[in-house]
Amino acid sequence: MSVRRCLGSRRGGVLARARNLAGVLDDRLSQGVGDTFLDRVLRHLGTVVEYRHDALSDSKWNVVRRPLLDIELRRYAQLPVVPQPLILHGPRGVGKRTTIEGLLEEWSTDPHATAYVDLYAQVGAATEGKYAPPWTLSGVTNQGGSDLQWIRRQLEQGLESLAIQAVQAGCLKSKNVFDVLIDRHTVDAALSEFLLSQTTSTGTPEASGNRDTKQLWHHALLYMQRASGVAGQPVHNRTIARIDEVLLAVLENADTAPLDIVLSDGIGRKSIKNVKPQFDVKEKALLSLALAKHLLQIQEHWKVAAGADRKSQGLTPKGLVDAAVSWPALLLELVSWATQEGVFQPKLVINGLEVLRNASTVEGGVDGSLFHDGFLLQLVYNSHTQGSFPVILISSDSYYSWQLGDDFGNTDAFISSEIFGWTPKEAALHLVPSVFTADEWKVVVAVLGPNPRHSAELLQLRHSKAYSERMKIDDSLDFEDCIDLYLAYLQVTAVDPAMDIALGFLEQFAEKALKGDIDSNLLQHGAPWRDFPRNDDKERRQQWARIQMLDFVQAYTDTEFGVNYLGGDLELLDDPAARALVQVGLLYQQRAPPFVRPTSRGILRCLTRWFVKQKLHLESSEKLRFKWHRLIRGRSYRHLMRE
């Protein structure tokens, strides 16, 4: 079998011994009109990715806690106010999300309150409400889940839930909302716009100083109180989960609950008829939050309209970015202000921060990277100026292991915690013999490595109904066949789509280089990627990108799949092929020690299979061009090999 032939692969023999493994999927798919067994297993793995929901494997797989990591997270989260947010990052499949989810129940008991925002909830495969993020960025891109509007709603709802709990705990009042809002924003015009559009107002309201703003604010709250209570109970007698529930009740009842407000233009005579001036404290605070959100939405709408011309030119005004993050930033400050030890200790956990960074947006708004940077800037600013409640950010993108600190100009802006999976010996303590036999575990480590997620998904496949039915038909199937099939699943669903996206990044690089948009320092004499096509020919760019990627994988294999990216004057980080593979998540750029390595040994196997398959499918002219490139311009990173 192909796995057996690959077990002995070492050093330069990986590619040669991977040749048979690369043909496994092709052989299976060539057995007629699709392989129904393979199709059924792929569907099973594609829709059921949480091992804990598989009844057959529940008794075999147990989540093993990591005491040192748990202690680090508990120490950070038990503080009511912290000076820095914490970023938990590491390769995919090492248990970051599982570790955090095991602490959520503890962090949700009084006086603690936790908002857990899973940005992979829209793109990950789900079973009974549980989500598993895709192995690579291709899973996010291909499923169209990186929509900034959806991500903004999830993020804002998480922060709003904390603000509502602060109101219910009596730690956040209307005056706090007003003071923080006025300190950060000028909302007089938005207040007037709101009153004029939602009430039977006369006059030309113009605020002159803080006193007029307070009066406008009070009028707006009176109107919102009446409008929100028209169709049912007062706000404070209802269970409110989102600020939008209050705001929607107000806007829907605008016509049925008009207020007669006469606003003079500066002298200050204002009269309100038929309104009840009494407020419940919590009701007033909730209405204030809803009003603040609506006013910031009005201002954002204005800035989107004002920046339309610059957006059409490919420019994004800074004011538009500030407006987009204004509501989350206000909530961060309000919840931080409301934090009281022993009374209300909130926490925010965001899983999949890279989804926000790579999100797309609708026409006219900001893109995901700008919103991501703006939100993190506000988070860091709030933490450093007044202290923030604990915020834990989880990511599998190696951007957060090294590049983030440089982009923000301060490596101490975040508390960075990088974790990796088990070593083979550590994993064996937990999985042998309860999950795998000693001989089976040797095969798993040699082919897939000790990655916990690989082991969990392999166990799930082994106990799936499709595989069990197949074994009844063909009793010659053994454990190596199961691993073969799992590698085929990884190849089809993760690595091949990711490589297609990486090749697209290389094509974009060639297109930008042709337009002169690439720094000349990256195109110095001798750079392997300097010979990009000099005409706008898409087919030639595709051929060039494929040869560049094959050249990089060949050179990377010669380094035994480990390169010190800090050596050689950071030359590896200049390589567009290396950056593309890191960006899609097939390679991971770890911080300490500073190596670029495959996400897992299983991903490494699939990467070599892709290489072999691509070489086999090269035409004669392309083979000649590839050999010439390797001889004249070929990459070599052996001097950067890890020691």
Residues 165-192 have pLDDT tens digits of 999 999 999 999 999 999 999 888 999 8
Distance CA 594, CA 565 (A): 6
pLDDT at 99 over 90: yes
Distance CA 561, CA 411 (A): 28
Contact 123, 145 (CB under 8 A): yes
Distance CA 116, CA 114 (A): 6
Is residue 37 one of the residues assigned to a domain? no
Distance CA 213, CA 322 (A): 22
Query: Are 566 and 616 within one domain?
Result: yes
Distance CA 529, CA 522 (A): 9
Q: Which of 609, 608, 586, 610 is nearest to 598 (CA)?
A: 586
Query: Are 333 and 247 within one domain?
Result: no
pLDDT at 485 over 80: yes
Q: What is the mean pLDDT of residues 2-7?
A: 50
Is residue 231 one of the residues assigned to a domain? yes
Q: What is the mean pLDDT of residues 13-27?
A: 41
pLDDT value for 235 = 53
Q: Which of 555, 568, 564 is nearest to 590 (CA)?
A: 564
pLDDT value for 410 = 80
Query: Are 286 and 376 within one domain?
Result: no
Is residue 47 one of the residues assigned to a domain? no
Range among 189-203, 241-255, 610-624 rated most confident: 610-624
* Final residue of a structural domain among 384, 418, 452: 418
pLDDT at 595 over 50: yes
Is residue 353 one of the residues assigned to a domain? yes
Residues 319-373 have pLDDT tens digits of 888 999 999 999 999 999 999 988 999 999 999 999 999 887 766 678 889 999 9
The proportion of the chain whose per-residue pLDDT surpasses 90, expressed as a percent, equals 50
Contact 51, 59 (CB under 8 A): no
Mark 587-606 as b/e (b = at least 16 C-beta within 10 Å): bbbbbeeebbbbbbbbbbbb
Provide Rg for the chain, Cα atoms.
29
Query: Are 501 and 363 within one domain?
Result: no
Helix axes of 326-338 and 174-184: crossing angle, nearest 10 degrees: 130
Query: What is the distance, to the nearest Å, from the Cα of residue 632 to the centroid of all Cα atoms in its chain?
Result: 40
Residues 546-566 have pLDDT tens digits of 999 999 999 999 988 888 888
DSSP for 158-215 reads HHHHHHHHHHHTT---HHHHHHHHHHH---HHHHHHHHHHHSEEES-----SHHHHHH
pLDDT band per the 50, 70, 90 thresholds, residue 108: very high
Distance CA 177, CA 224 (A): 15
Of 318 and 454, the structure prediction assigns the larger pLDDT to: 454
Residue the block writes with tokens 């603690």: 112
Query: Are 276 and 343 within one domain?
Result: no
CA atoms 196, 198, 199, 200: torsion sign:
positive
Query: Are 140 and 280 within one domain?
Result: no
pLDDT value for 634 = 92
The total of other beta-carbon atoms located within 10 Å of residue 27's CB is 12
Is residue 296 one of the residues assigned to a domain? yes
Of 277 and 482, the structure prediction assigns the larger pLDDT to: 482
Of 458 and 45, the structure prediction assigns the larger pLDDT to: 458
* Final residue of a structural domain among 418, 450, 485: 418
Is residue 320 one of the residues assigned to a domain? yes
pLDDT at 602 over 90: yes
Query: Are 353 and 282 within one domain?
Result: no
Residues 228-264 have pLDDT tens digits of 664 445 555 556 667 877 777 767 665 555 555 544 4
Q: Are strands 260-263 and 270-272 parallel, antiparallel or unpaired?
A: antiparallel
Q: What is the mean pLDDT of residues 185-211?
A: 66
pLDDT band per the 50, 70, 90 thresholds, residue 3: low
pLDDT band per the 50, 70, 90 thresholds, residue 51: very low
DSSP for 115-154 reads EEEETTTTTSEEETTEEE--SSHHHHHHTT--BHHHHHHH
pLDDT value for 518 = 93
Query: Are 528 and 507 within one domain?
Result: yes
Is residue 523 one of the residues assigned to a domain? yes
> What SS3 string covers 485-517?
HHHHHHHHHHHHHHHHHHHHHHHHHHHHHHHCC
Distance CA 132, CA 25 (A): 24
Query: Are 399 and 283 within one domain?
Result: no
Distance CA 382, CA 398 (A): 25
Q: What is the mean pLDDT of residues 420-443?
A: 92
Distance CA 362, CA 546 (A): 32
Beta bridge pairs of residue 587: 598
Q: What is the mean pLDDT of residues 401-425?
A: 87
Distance CA 221, CA 285 (A): 10
pLDDT value for 198 = 63
Range among 328-332, 433-437, 618-622 rated most confident: 328-332
Query: Are 146 and 196 within one domain?
Result: no
Q: Are strands 415-418 and 86-89 parallel, antiparallel or unpaired?
A: parallel
Is residue 479 one of the residues assigned to a domain? no
Distance CA 109, CA 103 (A): 11
Domain that holds residue 295: 174-301
Query: Average per-residue pLDDT in the chain?
Result: 81
DSSP for 569-612 reads GGHHHH-HHHHHHHHHTSEEE-SSS-EEEES-HHHHHHHHHHHH
Name the 3-class secondary structure at 103.
helix
What CATH number does the domain containing 368 carry? 3.40.50.300
pLDDT band per the 50, 70, 90 thresholds, residue 492: very high
Query: Are 315 and 296 within one domain?
Result: no
Q: How many separate domains does the chain show?
A: 3
* Final residue of a structural domain among 256, 284, 301: 301
Q: What is the mean pLDDT of residues 612-618?
A: 94
Query: Are 192 and 103 within one domain?
Result: no
Beta bridge pairs of residue 465: none
Of 34 and 99, the structure prediction assigns the larger pLDDT to: 99
Whole-prediction pTM: 0.86
Of 413 and 127, the structure prediction assigns the larger pLDDT to: 413
Q: What is the mean pLDDT of residues 484-488?
A: 93
